[in-house]
Structure formats: structure tokens, C-alpha cells
Chains A and B, each alone.
Chain A
Amino acid sequence: MRTSSTSSRLLAATALVAALGLTLSACGGGDDDNGSSGSKGKSSSGGTLTYWASNQGTSLDNDKQVLTPELAKFTQQTGIKVKLEVIPWSDLLNRILAAATSGQGPDVLNIGNTWSASLQATGALLPFDDATFAKIGGKDKFAPASIAAAGAAGKDPAAVPLYSMAYGLYYNKKMFADAGIANPPKTWDELVADGKKLTTGGHYGLAVEGGNGSENIHHAFVLAKQRGSDWFDASGKATFDTPNNVAAVKQYVDFIAKDKIAAKGNAEYAQNQTITDFATGKAAMMMWQSAATSIKSHGMNPDQYGVVPVPTQQAGATGDAGVTSMVAGINLAVFKNSKNIDGALKFVNFMTSDAEQKTLNSTYGSLPPVKAAQSDPAFQTPDLKTLASVLGSSAAPLPQVPNEAQFETLVGTAVKDLFADAAAGKDVTTDSVKAALSKAQQQMPAS
């Protein structure tokens, strides 16, 4: 009797364990339905695309509101549904990594254009060769500078430009007038001199985003370029600690360290406090990309500030010495594993059409990389005209090398630490800058 009772209980218990297993998998089944992003491609053939959008607007929700009606237009035109996911910047790269590793990802996605070469190296993105370009209206519809920031030189681009941006020098008109400065600076010497005049009583001449590694390398890149110097040689090898690069970084850090035209607190800025400082009159100048929307959201009107190109070493410099901005922007890529490449390309074509380019770029305050859309009145405001001319004539793409992410991390962090030194009152010398950059360079992988 006892034996059978034991075994029946054992049976019951085993059943319980089995049921537990069942619940788990049942639960999985449930998740499968609402948890999938359509990424497995099963559903794509039926005419659904998954689109990963980066966060361009004031919030994730704002992006959804902006994009949803546009996607509806696309569905109306083509019958293809688009499942939209807006991904915060903090997650985007990891999500792309996960997608590349697993082969399960979106059909179309946004990438920061500086990531292009890195992501190109994974082979996860569809290369845009001539045939592919033909399907989206040809390579020539895009501005060449933006195309140059879509992949390594000599290879088919891994993406196409979607939103373009460029750095400009934003200056507060009233503060300039109050300080008796007639014109915004054209050279760095003028900028420092003006900055010193403007730095009084809790106000500063300039604000910089010192705690943000990406911002740091964007400026370091431009300052080095103006000295004719690059961060990688032709073979893709890192050349961080050349005298010119050291001088470039030092010049940038000196805004806090030596010139003292930027507040020490800027060394910590990593959440766009620069814009807040500028818009609230705490700082009279900043170098930023396409800031109109954000400035406005902080309550500063467009007629209160002006935008001019970032200064150069000598006034009227041309060529490399005249470079005043990196080519900033967001690219649109197609995931190679997409089961619906044709649909994906239709979507790319739609997003880079004149009408969408006008709508989206004017909403986000960016510039259209599609030439035909650039002449639209929406982009003829004084500040956007300045930025467009920068993009057209004096912007250069960041190094398009597979190790760009390492460059951004290592040099960005090195500059951040130098800013921290400067803010703590430690000396920032040519030697200390060189040491930091040499160290960063030696940590770069060999390839």
C-alpha cells in the first residue's frame, strides 16, 4: 500500500514538474506573439517591415508621433505595413550588435553615420551597389559629403544618408552687443579674445560638452583637420599622438584649462547641458549641430542668436585648413538578413523621397541630404542656410574605419579625463595630452 501511495505521489509531483515546464513553454508561446518584432521575417513576406528609428525628437513618444503618419503614407502607397520601434540612443548600438550576431533584426534601421564603417565591417548591412542605388533613385540624388559618411572609402556604402547635420558656432546676439563685439569670431584667436570679454560675472564665453566622448572627438577631429592632420593613416593605423593631434586636443581642452572661457563645470556635461547654458544665457557661444529645435524648447527665440561657421586657424582658410565641421547625421541601412529586401528598399526610397525629406528634416531641425529637397523654403532660415553651406563646402566625414568605435571610446574618454584634470585645477600640458593620446593609441587593436 505504502509503496503505491509513494509512487502515485511521486507521479503527481513529476506531473507538477512537467506542468511547470509546460507553463514555461506556454508562456513562451504567448510571448512569441506579442514579443516578436516581426524580425524573424516570417511575417515580412506578407508585407510587413520592421523599422528601428533612432531618437531624433524630444522623446520616444514624440518620434512615434512624427513618424507614424508618414509610415501610414508609405503603407497607403505600397501596401507594406511598417512596424516602428523607436530605440533610445543608449540601447541602439547594443541592439544592432544583437541583431548582427543573431541574424534576427529589423528590416530597415537608423544608424549614427559615424558607425557606418564599423557596422559595414560586420557584413550585417546590405551594401548599396549601383544596382541597389538604382532602386532608390540613384546615388546622385544624395549630397556627396553625406554619402562619404556612409561607409569606408572605396567600398559600396553600407547605408544612405537620412538626416544631415553640421556644426556651427551659435552665438547670443544680445550678449555680444553688450560686450561691444560687432561680429562673431572667424578665427580661434578671435573666439578666445571674444570669449574672454564675454566671461564675466557668472557668464561664460563658451559652453562645451566636456563629459561627452562623442562631442569631444568631433571637435578634436575638426581641430586636427585644420592642422592637416588625421587620426588614422591610409592603411587604417591609428596616429593619435602626432604633434598636430596633440595640439588640437590641447586647444580644445584649453578652453577650460588655459583660456578659461568655458566654465569648469562643463567638464562634466554629458547630457546636453551645453544647450541649456546657451539658451539660458549662461554661455554666449557654443559649437553644436542643428540645435534650433532644442534651443527653442528652452525658450530662446531664433532671432536672439546667430549661427556662423565654426572658426578656423586663419581667416578665410580653405581646403583641410578650412574644415569647420564633421559630417554629422543619421544614416538609413537595410539589414542584410531581411526577408523582404525589395520592400525594405522601397521603404528607403520612400524615406529619401523629396516629400519625406522635407517633412522629416524640417520637423527635426536637420538638413536634407537629398539635394532636391534642400531648396525647400523650410531650409532657408538663416541658421539652416549657414549649416547647409558648411555641409556643402567645409565639412569632412569622420574617419570611416572599422575601428571608429574604439577611436571614439578611447580618445573620447581620454579627452574627458583631460577636461576633468583641467576642471580640478591640474595642469594640462602638451606632454600630458600627448601621454593620454599615446596611451589611447596603444590600446587600439592592431588591425
Chain B
Amino acid sequence: MPRIPVQPSPMASPKSFLWTRRIFLTLLLLFVLTPVYVMLSSSLKKLQDVQGSFQWLPNGITFRPYVDIWKTVPLGHYFMNSLIVSVSATLFSVIIAIFAAYGVSRYRFPGRQFFTVTVLSTQMFPGILFLLPLFLIFVNIGNSTGIQLYGSRLGLIITYLTFSLPFSIWMLVGYFDSIPRDLDEAAKVDGCGPFGALFRVVVPAAIPGIVAVCVYAFMTAWGEVLFASVMTNDSTRTLAVGLRGYASQNDVYWNQVMAASLVVSVPVVAGFLLLQRYLVAGLTAGAVK
């Protein structure tokens, strides 16, 4: 990633700037990390302790919640569901977005504007408006074709991929626009068709943008609650909905909720942080232009 050393003169960073930076960033750090700390510390407390007054330091540390979470609800199973759904949705969303973005970026054709506007405008649809209709449509498709979309992972995959599609297309259009057209023209001269040019030249050049889109699409799918709560059943339930199972008829197992939240978050956060440099780069060249 390109660095921008903006240190042309000693004047550039006066004391006031440095102190502003220190204070502001410290406060921000506290704001950001407090919930993370609470999640961690509470997950190591006993149930009585999390139900009592808050304490910064646990009275005694127990790893019990980390054992119990797998039993209280079938967390492992939900985890697999979320993984399958999110990965598939991401994969398809990105492939479809690559095609669409390439079409929009490289061709001038009647309906181009219409397409862009239509797809982007779906971003403003309140989910609540089409939840029930979508559900009805899925059921009808199931009844008439035998393809079960309601209650299946496939239904969720298709739904989620369309959630991330508009923004993905838009981000990739920006990225593709920044790749010189001469490159794919050259590839075409070499005998590649449009798809050859896309996959041999444009896609490799756009990897940071594509990774950024992957990350975005994955996270959109991973955290969704509303549609998952209506469209899944016991065997296809995803984590976001499954976590609610820790609040039972009798009790909320706060320590387990926190432990499970942490377990669920760690892989995503780790992956995200590993890929964040791409995300910045992808946004830099693409969307932000």
C-alpha cells in the first residue's frame, strides 16, 4: 500500500496537532475497545457474576462458558450453516458482480443507465417491505418447480447475494474504470474475446477491488438477522439467529452469550483484519474515485 509521508516541513505537525491526535485517538480507542473488553471479560465469568453488578475484573476466571456454549445451542451446526451460506453468497455475488461491472464499465449500450440506476436503487428498499413477498415467491417457486428455496440454504444464499450485489457492482465499476482500457484492447488484439480480456487482464489487475467486494459481501451475509429468522429452520439456522437461543424461557446466559459472540466473531474479525489492506486499496482505486 502506498504510504503518504506528509512531512514536508517541521511546521506540518505542530504541538497542537500532535496533542489533538493523541487525545482524540486515545478516546476513540477506549470507545472502540470497551465492548470488546466486556465481551471477553464477561465470557470468563460465572453466571451469578454476570447477573450481578458489573465488575471490570472477573472475580474468578472460568472457561466453563466456552465449553457450555456448544451444548446449550447447536453452535457448531449453526456455524457451518453460516459458513456455507456466507461463502457461497460471497462467491456468487462477486462472480456476478464482476460480469455486470465489466459490462457497465467497458460498454456503452442502450439501457446502461437504466440498469445502473435500477440496481443501485434497490439499496434503498426497506427489507421489511419485501420480506413477506419474497417469502411468498420462494414458497411458490418451491411448489411449482420443486426447488426448495424457503427453509433451505439456497434461498438464503440467493437472498444475501442480492443484498451485496448492488454495492459490489458499483465498487467494481469504479475499479474497472481505473484500469486502462488499452490493456484489454491489447488482449483483444491478441485474440482474446471480451471474456478472455476480462479474465486474463482485468480481473488480475483488479484483485484488490475484488477482495474488497468479497469482504463486504461476506460480512453482509454473516450478520443478517431479519431474513434468516423467517427463512431458516432448525437444520439451516444461521449463527446470527442461533445466538438468540442463549436466551431461554428461564434465563439469559450472559456469559455464554458473550463467549459465543466472541467465538463467532474471532474468525471474521481475523479474516477481515488480514484482508483490510486490500479493502483500503480496493476502495482507493474503485469506489472512492
Contact = CB atoms under 8 A, between A and B. Distances in A.
Contacts of A275: 250-251
A25 interface: yes
Nearest to B148: A32
B193 A6 contact: yes
Contacts of B233: 35, 37, 85, 95
B235 interface: yes
Contacts of A271: 247, 251-252
Interface stretch (A54-62, A124-132, A168-176, A309-317): A54-62
A98 B250 CA distance: 26
B58 to A, nearest CB: 19
Contacts of B148: 28, 31-32, 35-36, 40
A56 B142 CA distance: 32
A272 B151 contact: no
Given A35-B153, A59-B73, A27 B88 contact: yes
A6 B192 CA distance: 7
Interface in B180-195: 191-195
Interface in A65-90: 85-90
Contact of A102 (B150, B158, B193, B253): B150
Nearest to B195: A13
A177 B230 CA distance: 51
B280 to A, nearest CB: 30
A90 B132 CA distance: 18
Interface string B12-29: 000000000000000000
Nearest to B70: A61
B71 A58 contact: no
A155 interface: no
A102 B136 CA distance: 7
A9 B247 contact: no
B150 A55 contact: no
A1 B147 CA distance: 42
Interface residues of A, number: 54
A56 B132 CA distance: 29
Interface residues of B, number: 48
B239 interface: no
B230 A34 contact: no
B151 A35 contact: yes
Contacts, number: 141
A272 B154 contact: no
A43 interface: no
B271 to A, nearest CB: 22
B62 interface: no
B251 A12 contact: no
B258 interface: no
A88 B231 CA distance: 15
B195 A12 contact: yes
A271 B152 CA distance: 31
Nearest to A29: B147
A24 B154 contact: yes
A20 B98 CA distance: 14
A293 interface: yes
A94 interface: yes
B252 A10 contact: no
Contacts of A91: 229, 241, 244
Interface in A322-360: none
A10 B195 contact: yes
A9 B235 contact: no
Contacts of A1: 191
Contacts of B95: 20
Contacts of B191: 1-2, 5
B149 interface: yes
A293 B253 CA distance: 16
Give the interface centre of A24, A86, A275 by most chain B CB atoms within 10 Å.
A24
B153 A27 contact: yes
Contacts of A94: 229-230
A56 B150 contact: no
B254 to A, nearest CB: 9
B51 interface: yes
B223 interface: no
Given A101-B135, A101-B136, A275-B250, A35 B235 contact: yes
11 contacts: A1-B191, A10-B193, A10-B194, A20-B95, A24-B158, A27-B88, A54-B249, A85-B233, A98-B135, A98-B150, A101-B139
Given A37-B151, A60-B248, A98-B230, 8 more contacts: A35-B153, A35-B235, A59-B246, A59-B253, A85-B233, A101-B136, A102-B142, A104-B142
